[in-house]
């Protein structure tokens, strides 16, 4: 009996000991779970606070950017303006840079270790919308239309009236003019834009130091970098985006394997090879040749200003340029050596300004200002004649940011965002 009692007592204490261990184990498990839930809730609150702060920073950054787009005169070029709008510790800064025909605004908002940054490419907007499609300087030479030609929009031409011409013995014309015709002046309106980029002090990247298997990117809040192409006649197999200038002192051809986005090209003569697609601003001093089947996407532009040499810009068949073309100079005598040629089935969407002579056989959606027109055929040459061409200002989208050619009447720049960079 005694042995059985001792065994029963031991079994009883063993059961109580194991129950205590199990209870402690359950408490530990519950404590771990509770701690995890508390930790998760804490980090969730921290994450929410961070997200709310980022939303505030993004909203603040957008508000500051929009404010300075409407009050751009407060910001000088290549300088940084800092502001604490609500004096709550969130500091914002704005920097304005010139980039070809356009400007770049870089806005940053900082709170402690958090920073939100946004860079945008912007263009000038107009105080009043113009319906002008065609302007030809009045040198007392009438403007003549021939073939299948249509112009939608107002025109200012010599003597305020147009005539018809019959080229190569054709019997009839199909001329469609929709807009007011008024008399132009004896001078082409002077534009308010002159582009000059000094690359002498900018850092240079030799082409042989660039890995062509990767996309080269340089943000606009960094220093502009110059890709030195002085020893290159034909550029191939390069992909770069952003704050770059492709520079050469010699003639330069851009091959169809090159991928360019938002960059500037500078050379005396620039040739865009057939099949090229990209977004560029071209600054040349002598000639720009856009071969057939080239797509220069918005906002792409061509700029030449020269009074010493013969100058030409050619847009070949089936090519498209969305942005604008400017051929400028200072004297009338040299304007006789400046030519713009837009071939059949070529399209320019935007603004065209030629202080010289234009041969238009393609299509312009937007407006053109030129000193005079010319036409070369196998049989003869004609002065102030447009054959089988189209100029359509009405089809230009209302939100299209045109080139800032002329000064606003209020003399105050107002900007609109073209794209985020």
Distance, CA of 315 to chain centre:
20
Q: Under a CB-based contact definition with an 8 Å cutoff, are residues 405 and 192 in contact?
A: yes
Q: Are strands 132-136 and 154-157 parallel, antiparallel or unpaired?
A: parallel
Using 70 as the pLDDT threshold, list the residues of the chain that sit under it.
Answer: 1-20, 42-54, 126-129, 169, 408-413
The pTM assigned to this predicted structure is 0.86
Confidence at residue 56, expressed as pLDDT on a 0 to 100 scale: 76
Q: Taking the alpha carbons of 354, 360, 366, 369 in that order, is the dihedral positive or negative?
A: positive
Confidence at residue 88, expressed as pLDDT on a 0 to 100 scale: 74
Close Cβ partners of 145 (under 8 Å, ≥ 6 residues apart): 162, 163, 164, 165, 173, 175, 177, 385, 386
Confidence at residue 181, expressed as pLDDT on a 0 to 100 scale: 93
Q: Are strands 295-305 and 259-272 parallel, antiparallel or unpaired?
A: unpaired
**Cα-Cα-Cα-Cα dihedral of 404, 408, 413, 416, to 10°?**
-60
Distance CA 131, CA 358 (A): 21
Residue 345, token pair as written in the block: 């089935």
Confidence at residue 317, expressed as pLDDT on a 0 to 100 scale: 97
What are residue 56's phi and psi, to 5 degrees? -65, -40
What are residue 172's phi and psi, to 5 degrees? -145, 160
pLDDT digits (tens, 9 = 90+) for 325-354: 999 998 888 888 999 999 999 999 999 999
Close Cβ partners of 246 (under 8 Å, ≥ 6 residues apart): 227, 229, 235, 252, 254, 260, 263, 264, 265, 266, 267
Close Cβ partners of 420 (under 8 Å, ≥ 6 residues apart): 118, 119, 120, 121
């Amino acid at each position: 009996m005694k042995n059985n009692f001792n065994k029963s007592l031991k079994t009883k204490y063993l059961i109580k000991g194991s129950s205590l261990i199990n209870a402690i184990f359950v408490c530990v498990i519950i404590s771990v779970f509770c701690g995890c839930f508390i930790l998760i809730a804490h980090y969730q609150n921290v994450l929410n606070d961070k997200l709310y702060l980022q939303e505030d920073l993004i909203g603040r950054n957008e508000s500051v950017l929009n404010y300075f787009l409407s009050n751009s005169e407060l910001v000088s070029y290549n300088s940084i303006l800092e502001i604490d709008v609500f004096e709550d510790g969130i500091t914002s800064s704005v920097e304005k840079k010139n980039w070809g025909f356009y400007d770049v605004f870089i806005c940053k908002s900082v709170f402690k270790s958090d920073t939100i940054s946004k860079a945008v490419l912007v263009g000038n907007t107009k105080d009043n919308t113009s319906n002008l499609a065609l302007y030809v300087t009045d040198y007392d030479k009438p403007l003549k239309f021939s073939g299948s030609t249509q112009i939608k929009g107002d025109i200012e031409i010599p003597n305020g009236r147009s005539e018809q011409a019959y080229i190569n013995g054709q019997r009839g014309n199909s001329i469609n003019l929709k807009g007011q015709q008024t008399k132009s002046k004896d001078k082409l309106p002077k534009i308010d834009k002159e582009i000059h980029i000094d690359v002498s002090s900018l850092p240079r990247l030799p082409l042989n130091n660039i890995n062509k298997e990767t996309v080269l990117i340089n943000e606009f809040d960094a220093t502009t970098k110059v890709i030195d192409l002085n020893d290159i006649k034909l550029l191939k197999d390069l992909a770069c985006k952003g704050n770059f200038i492709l520079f050469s002192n010699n003639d330069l051809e851009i091959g169809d394997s090159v991928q360019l986005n938002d960059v500037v090209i500078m050379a005396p003569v620039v040739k865009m090879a057939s099949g090229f697609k990209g977004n560029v601003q071209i600054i040349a001093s002598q000639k720009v040749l856009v071969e057939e089947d080239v797509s220069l996407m918005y906002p792409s532009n061509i700029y030449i200003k020269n009074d010493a040499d013969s100058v030409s810009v050619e847009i070949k068949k089936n090519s498209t340029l969305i942005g604008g073309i400017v051929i400028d100079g200072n004297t009338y005598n040299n304007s006789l050596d400046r030519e713009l040629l837009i071939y059949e089935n070529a399209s320019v969407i935007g603004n065209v300004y030629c202080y010289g002579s234009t041969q238009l056989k393609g299509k312009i959606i937007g407006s053109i200002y030129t000193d005079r027109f010319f036409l070369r055929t196998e049989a003869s040459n004609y002065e102030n004649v447009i054959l089988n061409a189209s100029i359509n200002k009405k089809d230009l989208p209302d939100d299209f940011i045109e080139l800032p050619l002329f000064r606003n009447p209020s003399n105050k720049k107002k900007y609109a965002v073209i794209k985020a960079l």
